[in-house]
Structure 1
């Protein structure tokens, strides 16, 4: 990566940027650059698919604060269902790297058979890098589409404030990294900001051990136990949906909204829907 921290006068002209000591370089803009914005910094990054320039702009605009409003949605993330929403929507987790792992193994075996530093070795290395970049792009594209789907009918979105570093170092760390929870939360927060949806993280402790209907602590559940059944009030629903409802209750309490219990009709009668990863 090359960073150009200081740019000259009028550094952008006709889809070209003037880099210090290099000169004019043509680039393909991904979006329109505001005419009244000032280019402050350029980062040039080399990836296996080509060169990319990231432009940092100074733009004098007023950004209003997003206040809590509209339909609230709580989200619970997991490895069986990537997300479960408080209104009963379940979306299965696509296994991006796991599905491509066999092909990665074959390509890496091909690399190991080549003489290090040879042209064939470099070509084989490039194939491995291209596959990893393709998997990463598929994951990011899916995260972006899912974040927009969540924001379509929501005015407030609440998620768990998870210890992502700890999850990545656990026994299921490989699957947690493949799911990309941290990237999804960042993309979801950006999407909420662009679409005027309120976003907030809440305490993630014991969300799967509390009944969202009566608040009774039900204790730890095995991973194989996929149904929440409260012995105190008799409320039964999917385990992940119950966790999402607890997240929603905590989020509403954090923003000062009155929380209605499930027995009063807030979540009663909402079916659990299954959706494929495609949109």
Structure 2
């Protein structure tokens, strides 16, 4: 099985927008009520056995099991008999809201994430249809269960040999979108680790340095629009809480934030396609992104979005049949790619690598990318002793280039 998600912009009518908003509000209430049940059960197990709290006490039987998805789904069915508003929403949509809460708790238990929080009004941004009816795509319309035909902008060709497994309606500052999950009954071939290779070193002064001597600039989308964002946020602070003017000001902030995110993501995709054009194997560093996001350069690291870029690069390599692998990042800037000897630590202001053993001189980031390439080829079983002669990555050959725009291949 092969699965892809296509996103299209919806063009709903005013009546359909009202339905979307009402469904999101009902999903938010179900989510918060289910979260309250779980929090009350947890708090009831924290109280001492020999004393009562001064404020309040949770009276829950000791033999009652912890609320989970199955028990809360049964309770939801009973609640729909007493709350007419819940009957207006598709039953599977409400069940998917409870599954979202269950996944949030599983992420807390397994991945060390924080305790799930309540969603304020407007914070619920999407709802899911886990199954679609017969012929969900009808021309320029998508048929959503219990809502009907909703017009959408077909920005890419619709595959004929795939089936729609689920649909997610998403609200953003720029409008409403639908994410369709398509599934093909095909066997995906295994990508072989052979052919030409390149290494990548990401940074702040330059977004990416490639082992072939190319440097890609850092667009810094947040830094470019930070002053404008600060101005809009000041206007929000000066508006009365709950007023229409405050809502309009918040919408402007949300649209600017979305513009920053789209600019960053578009740059990542263009750069990923450029890298796939240059080699059959691509190697990158295995970065500790959480630690970098807490350092003194946290704002610049988050603005660069290295985690998103590496995910996009992995997806792009998969779609275009290129081999992608991450290698350990420790000591890449302290190793000479020519003789593979340690050169000692470099300060951040030192942007040139000069080996005291063999005299090899190169841009610091390019030299680190060459070390990444050597480690990657060694990891996949290719014999690489040192940097080959005539690599074309000495300091004088470094070129600053911009990614060329290239559309993603259609499936």
Q: Aligned partners of 1:235 and 1:15: how far apart in 2?
A: 60
Structure 2 residue 391 is matched with structure 1 residue 267: yes
TM-score by length of 1: 0.94
Q: Aligned partners of 2:392 and 2:299: how far apart in 1?
A: 37
- Higher mean C-alpha displacement, 23-32 vs 115-124: 23-32
Q: Is the 8 A contact 2:211 2:393 kept in 1?
A: no
| CA positional deviation for 1:275 | 2.5
Q: Is the 8 A contact 1:94 1:277 kept in 2?
A: no
Instruction: Indicate the SS of the match to 2:255.
Output: helix
Q: Is the 8 A contact 1:260 1:266 kept in 2?
A: no
Give the 5 Å matches for 1:45-194: 45-194=170-319
- Higher mean C-alpha displacement, 215-224 vs 245-254: 215-224
| Candidates 220, 232, 237, aligned match of 2:362 | 237
Deviations 1:209-234 (A, max 9, x none): 11111111122111001111111111
Q: Is the 8 A contact 2:285 2:329 kept in 1?
A: yes
Q: Aligned partners of 2:216 and 2:224: how far apart in 1?
A: 18
Higher helix share: 2
| CA positional deviation for 1:9 | 2.0
- Higher mean C-alpha displacement, 222-231 vs 65-74: 65-74
Give the 5 Å matches for 1:180-219: 180-219=305-344
- From the superposition, tell whether residues 65 and 110 of structure 1 become closer, same or farther in structure 2 (CA, over 3 Å): same
Q: Is the 8 A contact 2:270 2:403 kept in 1?
A: no
- From the superposition, tell whether residues 165 and 7 of structure 1 become closer, same or farther in structure 2 (CA, over 3 Å): same
Instruction: Indicate the SS of the match to 1:55.
Output: strand
Q: Aligned partners of 1:128 and 1:201: how far apart in 2?
A: 36
Instruction: Indicate the SS of the match to 1:64.
Output: coil
Q: Aligned partners of 2:263 and 2:282: how far apart in 1?
A: 24
| CA positional deviation for 1:122 | 1.1
Extract unaligned runs of 5+ from structure 1. Answer: none
- From the superposition, tell whether residues 35 and 269 of structure 1 become closer, same or farther in structure 2 (CA, over 3 Å): closer
- Higher mean C-alpha displacement, 35-44 vs 13-22: 13-22
Extract unaligned runs of 5+ from structure 2. Answer: 1-125, 406-411
Paired residues, number = 278
| CA positional deviation for 1:77 | 0.3
TM-score by length of 2: 0.65
RMSD between aligned residues: 1.6
Q: Is the 8 A contact 2:366 2:393 kept in 1?
A: no
Larger Rg: 2
Q: Is the 8 A contact 2:274 2:404 kept in 1?
A: no
Higher strand share: 1
